[in-house]
């Protein structure tokens, strides 16, 4: 009496991997995602605060672009985030999950600050800057190199190792500030504020000009290095399969260490630029969480340095915009964080629809 | 494509549902009636003439229409009591002077780095003629902005550098909060006496615990004056201090309170910005004296009282000066007399009987100048009464103490001839550091 045929019931929805989507529809999906995110945000803003969403979006835009100062500030923040993203990218392409950029940037900044703190005005500016740069690079290399050595020699987990190194770096900064500042205030303050000795010089008449220029050049160099150099190819092969790499005669251990050293050096450079080109001091918040945000920037851009320009701009635009919204409408910072969260959710979420196809159960099959 | 859209829409619907479930309050600025304020501005930005009239009774008629004042906060006042104290004063002054929302702008979560300079400069770009920053580490960056905008007045709370900068538009401000702390200490001492009399503790167990942020003069001065206040009524009191090395860390402050309670402290006070310690005290039934805000809501049975700096008088001073085109002090210290040092409501449910009367008596003595908080006859260092002490009053970055601050038998804290920001950094006898 009962039906006993063993037809496998197809679920209502199932997911299959797409072949690579052509560029145009992929862009369209991303655009839709941003639009939808903005619409949802508008609804939420209106529902929670009764404000006009268009006015809110205007404030968001003004956060980055309403004055020359804001534009340069936007460029500086983008450049710094991009620089840190460039630091993690070579390691990521090798599937070495370096989550220690925050700490590597911090020790870079700390090393530069240490040089400036002890030298003060007794060296000429160019020499001071040079020594600060070298010590920042060295510090970044050491901070990234230790986990790399352990990974290459003992197979330790680099994710946890690099993550832990962040906290060591934060404590180290706190420690040195306590040593350097006998009043116990925990604030080092701007170094060489009067003489500006060891501060990066202004370029294009802009104090952040040099930072932006250096990171711009670095981005192109990194793109070429990863895409067209032998090293870049080795990185990709090791990332795909260590065994294949070994088979074709790549020195896997060497490549891991070399690449992570590069990662650390670029992170150290970011610390140097932050310290000598902007903050002129060191605090535990020098990197300000960008060491982690950079992971997002790099991933969103699929580890492509040129695309990372766009993703870092997007993130900084959201950060600046949400701050401006909070100021313009006297909202607490939470509302802007909610907005940023929603927008990022959609942007990351749409990647799913680009990579996978959602199949609904076909009617024709049901009728059978 | 249709299916794709359908799927997207489904995601959106789910999302919007969860979003609707969110708590309304979290998105609003703390305790500020933003909707009301917004309504006010939409109505009309006309100055409130009735309120302006009130002000004229104390100051010459000032035109506030050209005033624009920007506030820079280290943290979000929603969670940080320190920042909230500045924020509430700003709202109060805005209301009292009838300023519109466009004339008073706020920026939260401004770190002690170049972002502080950028924020200050941006506020100046937006037409602010006064910019106020609330955190010690903002100072260098505010100076940087002050150098760039000579026509804008930059005010910095707790800072130390205005006397060495020679910038007429860079101002430090603080208050003689040690007097408030001393009074709060009297409340604590009376509570200890009550505990001794009721047999809850023995006289030699009157141990106070104190959670400080940094081993910095502002903190040391605070706990020493608090301790001297307590000991002035409870002679057997002694104190143990622990530091969190952070101005704001809920977990560490709570942990600090618990550590001290476990170490035998029967009363706790703190100089750190979160609610961590008052809450831990309430959970353990230990009396607590707080700072900046009343914590009676957090500890209905344990919160005794709080001392606080009321920033409103200083804001009004700065605004009136700018409105009248006058200059004002580059280093200003408020007192009880200026209304800058206050005590919050005394929690009668937790405090010892008779506290209010004693408090009024001691306050009158301080105001009359007959009682000096740091009277050198009331405390010793290594068993000796000091007759001279060099403090690092002149902050030129060398950290070298150069100024004798003991005058007429008392350590002159925040003295007019010296500096508004505290420089009392002596670990006096009777106070020890936890773990040392």
Separation of alpha carbons B223 and B221, rounded Å? 6
Residue B120 — pLDDT band, cuts 50, 70, 90?
A: very high
The verdict on a CB contact (< 8 Å) between A338 and B216 is: no
Spatial separation of the C-alpha atoms in residues B217 and B255, rounded to whole Å: 23
**β-pair type (B403-404, B390-391):** antiparallel
Burial letters A289-310, b for 16+ CB under 10 A, else e: ebbbbbbbbbbbbebbbeebbe
Residue B92: what pLDDT? 94
| Whole-number CA gyration radius for chain A | 24
Q: Which residues in chain A have Cβ-Cβ distances shorter than 8 Å to B242?
A: none
CB–CB of A187 and B397 under 8 A? Answer: no
Candidate from A72-76, A341-345, B152-156, B370-374 with smallest mean pLDDT: A341-345
- The whole domain housing A109 covers 70-308
Query: What mean pLDDT is predicted for residues B100-118?
Result: 92
* Packing angle of the helix pair B276-284, B250-262 (nearest 10 deg): 40
Which of B388, B382, B389 shows the shortest CA–CA distance to B429?
B382
User: Nearest-CA distance from A364 to chain B in Å?
Assistant: 16
Q: Per DSSP, which regions of B225-375 are E strands?
A: 238-243, 267-271, 288-291, 303-309, 331-334, 341-343
Is B425–A281 a contact, with Cβ atoms under 8 angstroms apart? no
Which residue in A299, A291, A294 sits closest to A169, CA to CA? A291
- What average pLDDT does the segment A311-325 reach? 89
Output the pLDDT for position B36.
41
Q: Looking at residue B27, what is its pLDDT? A: 40
Interchain proximity A285–B113, CB inside 8 Å: yes
Of B29, B137, B217, the CB nearest to A330: B29
Chain B residues inside the 8 Å CB shell of A70:
122
What gap in Å lies between CA B99 and CA B320, rounded to an integer? 12
For residues A323 and A60, give the distance between their C-alpha atoms in angstroms, rounded to a whole number: 8
Structure confidence at residue A3 (pLDDT): 52
Average pLDDT score over residue span A247-251: 89
Q: Which of B10, B114, B134, B139 to mutate to test the interface with A (most CBs of A within 10 A)?
A: B114
Sequence-ordered list of residues with C-beta below 8 angstroms from that of A84, at least 6 positions apart, any chain: A101, A105, A267, A270, A287, A290, A291, A293, A294
Residues of B103-139 as b/e, b for ≥16 C-beta within 10 angstroms? bbbbbbbbbbbbbbbbbbbbbbeeebbbbbbbbbbbb
pLDDT value for A343:
86
pLDDT value at residue B30: 43
pLDDT above 90 covers what percent of chain A? 52
User: Facing residues of A17 across strands?
Assistant: A356
Min Cα distance A79 → chain B (Å) is: 15
A160-174, A281-295, B144-158, B396-410: lowest mean pLDDT where?
B396-410
**What residues in B contact A190, CB-CB < 8 Å?**
140-141, 144
Interface test with B, best of A40, A48, A72 (most B CBs within 10 A): A48
- For B131-188, the pLDDT digits (tens) are 999 999 999 999 999 999 999 999 999 999 998 888 999 999 999 999 999 999 999 9
Q: How far apart are CA A205 and CA A127, in angstroms?
A: 22
Cβ count near A354 (within 10 Å): 17
Strands (E), chain A: 13-17, 356-360
Residue B404's H or E segment, with its range, is strand B403-404
Tell me the per-residue pLDDT of B280-302, one tens digit each, with 9 for 90 and over: 999 999 999 999 888 898 889 99
Average the pLDDT over A134-144 and give the result: 96
Which whole number is the average pLDDT over B232-243? 96
Q: Taking all residues of chain B, what is their mean pLDDT, rounded to a whole number?
A: 86
Window from A64-73, A349-358, B137-146 with minimum mean pLDDT: A349-358
pLDDT higher for B3 or B329? B329
Predicted local confidence at residue B134, as pLDDT: 94
**Contact residues, chain A, for B12 at CB < 8 Å:** 36, 40
| Contact at CB, A338 and B27, closer than 8 angstroms | yes
Q: Buried (b) or exposed (e) across A245-270, using 16+ Cβ within 10 A? A: beeeebebbebbbbbbbbbbbbbbbb
Confirm whether A139 is domain-assigned. Answer: yes
The strand pairing partners of B132, in sequence order, are B71, B155
Residue A347: band (very low, low, confident or very high) from pLDDT cuts 50, 70, 90: confident
| Rounded percentage of chain A residues whose pLDDT exceeds 70 | 96
Structural domain includes residue A92 = yes
Residue B335 has pLDDT above 70, yes or no: yes
- A334–B contact, CB cutoff 8 A: yes
Does residue A332 contact residue B30 with C-beta atoms inside 8 Å? Answer: yes
Q: Please report where in the chains the tokens 């344990």 appear, as a residue.
A: B302
**Which residues, numbered 89 to 128 in chain A, qualify as contacts with chain B under a Cβ-Cβ cut-off of 8 Å?**
none
User: What structural domains does chain B harbor?
Assistant: 49-176+312-334 (3.40.50.2300)
The number of C-alpha atoms within 13 Å of A58 and in the hemisphere containing its C-beta is: 7
More confident residue, B121 or A204: B121
Question: Closest Cα to residue A109, out of A264, A276, A292, A295?
Answer: A276
Strand duo B153-157 + B207-212: pairing: unpaired
Give the number of A-B residue pairs with CB atoms closer than 8 Å. Answer: 134
The number of domains in chain A is 1
Q: Minimal Cα–Cα distance from A102 to chain B, Å? A: 16
Q: Minimal Cα distance from A359: which residue of B? A: B3
Six-digit token string for B380: 């010793």
A219 part of a folded domain: yes
Q: For every residue of B58-118, which 3-state class applies, written as one string?
A: CCCCCCHHHCCEEEECCCCCCCCHHHHHHHHHHHHHHHHHCCCHHHEEEECCCCCCHHHHH
Tokens standing for residue A320:
């600046």
Q: Which phi and psi (to 5°) does residue B238 adopt?
A: -140, 170
By Cβ distance, the residue of A73, A187, A331 closest to B136 is A187
CB contact under 8 A, A186 and B216: yes
Give me the sign of the Cα torsion angle B104, B110, B112, B118: negative
Look up residue B327 and give its two tokens: 């200059």
Query: Per-residue confidence at A5, pLDDT binned at 50, 70, 90?
Result: low
Convert the pLDDT of each residue in A214-231 to its tens digit: 999 999 999 999 999 999
Distance between CA atoms of A122 and B254, rounded to whole angstroms?
Answer: 45
Residue B8: list chain A partners with CB under 8 A: 32, 36, 353
Q: Which residues of B touch A183 (CB under 8 A)?
A: 216-217, 392, 399, 425
pLDDT confidence of residue B272: 79
pLDDT for position B35: 41
Q: How far is B261 from chain A (nearest CA, A)?
A: 25
A306 has pLDDT over 90: yes
Given this model, what pLDDT does residue B1 score? 44
Over residues B48-65, the pLDDT tens digits come to 444 444 444 455 557 899
| pLDDT above 70 for A367 | no
Contact in structure between B116 and B133 (CB atoms under 8 Å) = yes
Q: Which of residues 69-88 of A touch B (CB under 8 A)?
A: 69-70, 73
Give the pLDDT band of residue A142 (cuts 50, 70, 90): very high
Strands B130-133 and B331-334, by their bridges, are: unpaired
User: Nearest-CA distance from A106 to chain B in Å?
Assistant: 14
CB contact under 8 A, A69 and B121: yes
Q: Tokens 């251990």 correspond to what residue?
A: A253
pLDDT on residue A6:
59
A279 CB within 8 Å of a chain B CB: yes
**What is the end-to-end Cα distance of chain A in Å, rounded?**
20
Does residue B17 carry a pLDDT above 90?
no
């Amino acid at each position: 009496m009962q039906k006993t045929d063993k037809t496998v019931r197809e679920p209502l929805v199932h997911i299959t991997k797409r072949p690579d989507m052509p560029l145009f529809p992929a862009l369209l999906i991303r655009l839709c995602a941003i639009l939808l995110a903005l619409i949802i945000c508008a609804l939420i803003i209106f529902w929670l605060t009764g404000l006009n969403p268009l006015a809110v979006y205007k404030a968001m835009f003004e956060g980055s672009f309403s004055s020359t100062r804001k534009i340069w500030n936007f460029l500086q923040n983008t450049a710094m985030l991009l620089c840190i993203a460039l630091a993690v990218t070579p390691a990521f392409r090798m599937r070495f999950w370096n989550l220690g950029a925050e700490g590597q940037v911090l020790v870079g900044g700390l090393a530069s600050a240490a040089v400036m703190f002890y030298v003060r005005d007794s060296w000429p500016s160019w020499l001071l800057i040079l020594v600060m740069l070298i010590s920042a690079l060295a510090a970044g290399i050491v901070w990234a190199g230790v986990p790399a050595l352990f990974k290459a020699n003992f197979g330790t987990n680099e994710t946890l190792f690099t993550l832990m190194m962040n906290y060591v770096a934060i404590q180290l900064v706190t420690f040195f500030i306590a040593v350097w500042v006998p009043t116990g205030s925990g604030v080092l303050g701007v170094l060489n504020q009067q003489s500006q000795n060891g501060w990066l010089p202004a370029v294009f008449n802009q104090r952040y000009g040099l930072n932006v220029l250096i990171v711009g050049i670095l981005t192109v160099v990194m793109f070429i290095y990863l895409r067209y150099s032998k090293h870049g190819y080795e990185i990709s092969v090791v990332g795909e399969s260590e065994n294949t790499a070994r088979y074709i005669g790549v020195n896997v251990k060497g490549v891991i260490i070399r690449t992570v050293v590069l990662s650390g050096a670029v992170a150290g450079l970011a610390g140097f630029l932050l310290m000598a080109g902007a903050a002129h001091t060191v605090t535990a918040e020098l990197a300000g969480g960008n060491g982690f945000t950079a992971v997002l920037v790099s991933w969103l851009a699929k580890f492509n340095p040129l695309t990372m320009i766009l993703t870092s701009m997007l993130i900084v635009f959201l950060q600046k915009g949400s701050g401006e919204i909070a100021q313009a409408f006297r909202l607490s910072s939470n509302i802007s964080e909610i907005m940023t969260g929603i927008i990022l959710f959609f942007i990351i979420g749409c990647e799913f629809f680009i990579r996978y196809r959602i199949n609904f159960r076909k009617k024709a099959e049901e009728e059978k | 494509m249709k299916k794709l859209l359908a799927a997207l829409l489904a995601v959106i619907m789910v999302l919007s549902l969860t979003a609707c479930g969110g708590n309304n309050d979290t998105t609003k600025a703390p305790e500020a009636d933003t909707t009301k304020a917004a309504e006010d501005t939409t109505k009309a930005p006309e100055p409130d003439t009735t309120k302006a009239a009130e002000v004229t009774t104390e100051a010459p008629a000032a035109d506030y229409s050209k005033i624009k004042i920007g506030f820079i906060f280290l943290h979000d006042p929603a969670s940080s009591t320190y920042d909230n104290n500045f924020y509430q004063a700003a709202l109060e002054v805005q209301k009292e002077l009838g300023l519109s929302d466009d004339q008073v702008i706020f920026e939260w979560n401004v770190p002690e780095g170049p972002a502080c300079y950028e924020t200050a400069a941006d506020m100046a770009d937006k037409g602010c003629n006064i910019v106020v920053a609330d955190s010690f580490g903002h100072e260098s960056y505010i100076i940087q902005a002050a150098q760039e905008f000579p026509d804008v007045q930059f005010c910095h709370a707790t800072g130390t550098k205005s006397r060495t900068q020679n910038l007429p538009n860079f101002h430090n401000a603080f208050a003689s909060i040690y007097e408030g702390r001393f009074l709060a200490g009297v409340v604590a001492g009376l509570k200890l006496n009550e505990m001794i009399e009721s047999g809850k503790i023995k006289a030699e167990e009157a141990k106070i615990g104190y959670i400080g942020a940094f081993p910095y003069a502002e903190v040391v001065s605070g706990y020493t004056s608090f301790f001297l206040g307590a000991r002035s009524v409870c002679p057997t009191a002694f104190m143990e201090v622990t530091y969190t090395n952070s101005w704001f860390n809920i977990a560490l402050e709570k942990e600090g309170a618990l550590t001290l309670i476990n170490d035998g402290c029967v009363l706790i006070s703190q100089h750190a910005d979160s609610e961590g310690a008052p809450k831990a005290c309430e959970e353990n039934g230990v009396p607590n004296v707080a700072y900046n805000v009343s914590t009676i809501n957090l500890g209905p049975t344990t919160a005794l009282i709080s001392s606080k700096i009321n920033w409103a008088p200083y804001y009004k001073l700065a605004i009136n000066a700018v409105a009248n085109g006058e200059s004002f002090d580059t280093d200003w210290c408020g007192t009880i007399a200026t209304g800058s040092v206050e005590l919050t409501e005394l929690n009668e449910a937790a405090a010892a009987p008779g506290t209010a009367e004693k408090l009024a008596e001691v306050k009158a003595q301080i105001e009359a100048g007959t009682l000096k908080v740091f009277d050198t006859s009331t405390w010793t260092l290594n068993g000796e009464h000091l007759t001279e002490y060099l403090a690092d009053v002149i902050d030129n970055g060398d950290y070298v103490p150069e100024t004798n601050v003991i005058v007429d038998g008392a350590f002159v804290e925040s003295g007019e001839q010296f500096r508004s920001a505290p420089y009392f950094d002596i670990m006096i006898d009777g106070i020890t550091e936890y773990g040392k």
